[in-house]
Amino acid sequence: MSSSTVLDPLVIGLLLLAAIMHASWNAILKSDRTDRLATFAVIMLAGGVLALPLVPFLPVVERAAWPWLAASGAIHLAYYYFLLQAYAHGDLSHTYPIARGMGPLLVALVSGQLIGEQLRLQDVAGVLLLSGGLLTLARGAAARDEAVGSEARGRHRRATIFAMLTGFTIAGYIISDGLGVRAAGPTPQHRIAYIAWLNLIESPFMIVVALFLRRAALFDYLRRAWWKGAIGGTIATIGYAIAIYSLSLGPMAHVAALRETSVLFGALMGTLLLGEPFGRVRVLAAAIIALGLVLMNGPRLF
């Protein structure tokens, strides 16, 4: 990581917007009380619907980027599974900060070996803050579980495990998409083409799964609440498009860290909008994580 490399203020602002958008569509998904798989399927399909009209007007992605597109698509499938399992077992304000906090932490730890972005001293401090915030979340859940019984302890333990696995997949697709969008071609249009093709590749899978496993629930959702999934999908697609494009403009760990300030927004939404308990402890932990992420992304301080 070069100490002289600082993201443009406009890019920083767009990434903060992307962070809010990411937390928002996750809150839409988590708030669904009927069939979360059907909701997620519509969210993902919306990305393909938005991307399809763009592809004929964009240049062809260069050959070097296609393996990264394929890798990202495969990693995203694992991400979807782990994310749905985490939300099935735990609260948004617990699982979301763990999953989103682990992604940039892992990217920062491996970016030196993979892409030559070396950690600064303040990046190490950011990593320690991240770890402390994650530990606070995990310990807070464990303390609550001790009070509510063995069944809840098992549920929250599973939620934590699935959230951590989600974090590993987040790191994987950040690196894949970062390398892929850089290899897509020399112009901004090539980068947009990479984003469009990624959405087209990913969008059908969850609908196919939902048709196979939840056909009745999917059609019921499409009749009564399709617009929620469409809104969530539009937000998700635009937010991640900003993130991918930004990966071509600066160090991956910087971009990933700033985008994942969404952990703070996610914890706030989980506590204030979804009525999840013990909000203050979780918001404090998320704030510690966000501070670590911002420290990692900022210009040299020490």
Q: State the DSSP string of 70-115.
A: HHHHHHHHHHHHHHHHHHHHS-HHHHHHHHHHHHHHHHHHHHHHHH
Determine the pLDDT at residue 48: 95
| pLDDT of 139 | 63
pLDDT at 8: 76
Using CA of residue 79, residue 177, residue 256, residue 244, what is the dihedral sign?
negative
Tell me how far apart the alpha carbons of residues 297 and 30 are, in angstroms, rounded to a whole number. 28
Both tokens of residue 5? 């490399």
For the four alpha carbons of 219, 220, 225 and 231, in that order, the dihedral sign comes to negative
Give the pLDDT confidence score for residue 286 in this predicted structure: 77
Q: What percent of the chain has pLDDT over 90?
A: 37
| Domain limits, the chain | 9-297
Other CB atoms within 10 A of residue 37 CB: 18
Q: What stretches in the chain show pLDDT beneath 70? A: 1-7, 112-113, 116-117, 135, 137-152, 277-279, 297-299, 302
Return d(Cα 8, Cα 147) in angstroms, integer.
Answer: 48
The predicted pLDDT at position 5 comes to 54
pLDDT of residue 298: 66
- How far is Cα 99 from Cα 104, in angstroms, rounded to an integer? 10
* E strand intervals along the chain: none
